[in-house]
Chain A
């Protein structure tokens, strides 16, 4: 071949190659932008729908803590106060909410307040017992329908029979707005209350605690077992067919659909062992099974990443195998294992299907205080709320998603922190 022709060919090929290089860079950049856009869209939808759930509407209500109506005296003991007739005070307060109300109007007005009104009146009194025999202006939670109307989530211009609030109620709400007797404040109920049929007093506290207990169970069960299994497989087990089979199956187990684990929990834990259903104990056990392979894989990877020279060094000064492994190898593998564990826990946190199988989908209006109490979990709660018809639950589900996202984000942050904090360079 002619030398200059060959050179030309090489140059043109080189141009083509660098062009290809450039193109590939842009493909990658585009792909990244696309995924970023999808993520931003998702977050935007959730936040724009959900942020209103962090606010609730409260109404100013004048309450007369009359001792006769309450059937209490200023000297009443705490137990007696607990039993005070607060529903009668409430009734009076509603009757006097607007001057000169008819009976039917009172009924309508009652529906402007949350179901929790008795308790709020009572709690105010219990906190300030000196208000007995005085009239107090207190802020109480409005009904979800009022809340949704004022937040602009439900529309006024639909026909009356397809509205939650009828025309009379609407006019009262407008009057309240005019008199500045309503306002929006931070929704503390969302973080302190368990699930409820009434959106205005439904919160994530119950399911949050349920998730926390479940994760605790997952951690307690899976972390030691996973470390034990990984250390054995990596450091002690003979390399033969059986261990190879186990290794392959651990990887396979990580890919098993979670619902299968749910079935296992249902069939074995509930039916055979008779553990209480809907409890974090059972949910955690099932999720622990699901998380185990993830942690084992992470732990083994980090055990493998520990340079063998460290173990050799320990053995060479006369450490036994167990000493070498537990004094040197495991501590070095721990950050990686912890990261894997947290990722596994995060996975478990988001898991819904197995929990449905073992009954954690039940409606639980209480905040659980132990592992054996029935409780909900965050993802199941979201599922339940999305299913609900009431308008008020829609924003709640979006808000619950935000809570779970922040929870996940924090767990990942902890994972990153732990990795950076304990990771050794050697």
Chain B
């Protein structure tokens, strides 16, 4: 049994006076893919954004409870958000490369964190990140072209490379394939499978098939509550909760 990487306990999230998450407690294991599923507006993305404190961007959003990453509390005003985010990479729903060159996109993180001393080192990091994201062979001849000139799937892999470049331990993915065609999706899924060996991955997805394919653990959210969490195999063949059952069989009404 692998160790616990992220430990959430009684996480409540409010948007203004509206409560979005109700006492979420969850244990995310190291070097596993955990899928968060549930209908739109169920709070799965909100929970994901609690993990790297992305919710700070939303002014009216208040988070209480406890989330521990490697036994360190992150829901507190004394948390160093910048170092937290360098430890927890994030990939968004819509590929969002910076309107800069492919190289600069990947180099941005290492540069601002001062991870490199020389140009050669930077180049090495960029190349290895692109290789890990399975993009290097496709773009090695045009690293100076804008990142936005790539196809959707390549852009998403560029964003993954950008996240990997700062050497995180956890990668959060917020519906990374929802804007991609099936082939690009398959490539990303294959990539997630490879990344699992080195990173802890939490992925929000709307596609149950995708959750079933890529994850080891699945958590089902509904109306801001964590209904059920467990082994993916179990959730998709024989869930305990009837709400989970109804959702994954397409009976929600």
Contacts and interface: CB of A to CB of B under 8 A. Distances in A.
A102 to B, nearest CB: 82
Interface in A318-352: 318-320, 323, 327-328, 332
A309 B179 CA distance: 14
A342 B52 CA distance: 41
Contacts of B163: 316-317
A238 B94 contact: no
B159 A313 contact: yes
B130 to A, nearest CB: 15
B215 interface: no
A212 interface: no
A7 interface: no
Contact of A318 (B57, B109, B159): B109
Contact of B89 (A314, A317, A320, A425): A317
Interface string B142-181: 0000001000000000010011011000000000000000
A314 B98 contact: yes
A424 interface: yes
B85 A318 contact: yes
Contact of B148 (A238, A239, A320, A426): A426
B52 A316 contact: yes
Given A315-B57, A317-B89, A310 B98 contact: yes
A222 B108 CA distance: 31
A317 B92 contact: no
B134 interface: no
A48 B99 CA distance: 49
A310 B99 contact: yes
A390 to B, nearest CB: 58
B95 to A, nearest CB: 9
B113 interface: yes
A327 B111 CA distance: 12
Contact of A332 (B83, B99, B108, B166): B99
A318 B96 contact: no
A313 B98 contact: yes
Given A239-B59, A318-B112, A426-B148, A313 B96 contact: yes
Contacts of A320: 82
Given A239-B59, A317-B166, A318-B112, A307 B96 contact: yes
Interface string B42-70: 00000000001010010100000000000
A424 B59 contact: no
B97 interface: yes
16 contacts: A309-B94, A312-B92, A314-B108, A315-B57, A316-B54, A316-B163, A317-B85, A317-B89, A317-B109, A317-B112, A317-B163, A318-B113, A319-B112, A323-B112, A327-B112, A424-B99
Interface of A: 238-239, 307, 309-310, 312-320, 323, 327-328, 332, 424-426
Across chains A and B, which 5 residue pairs bring their CB atoms closest together, nearest first?
Answer: A318-B86, A309-B96, A317-B109, A316-B90, A318-B85
Given A317-B109, A317-B112, 14 more contacts: A309-B96, A310-B98, A312-B96, A313-B92, A313-B98, A313-B162, A317-B108, A318-B82, A318-B112, A319-B82, A327-B108, A327-B112, A328-B98, A426-B148
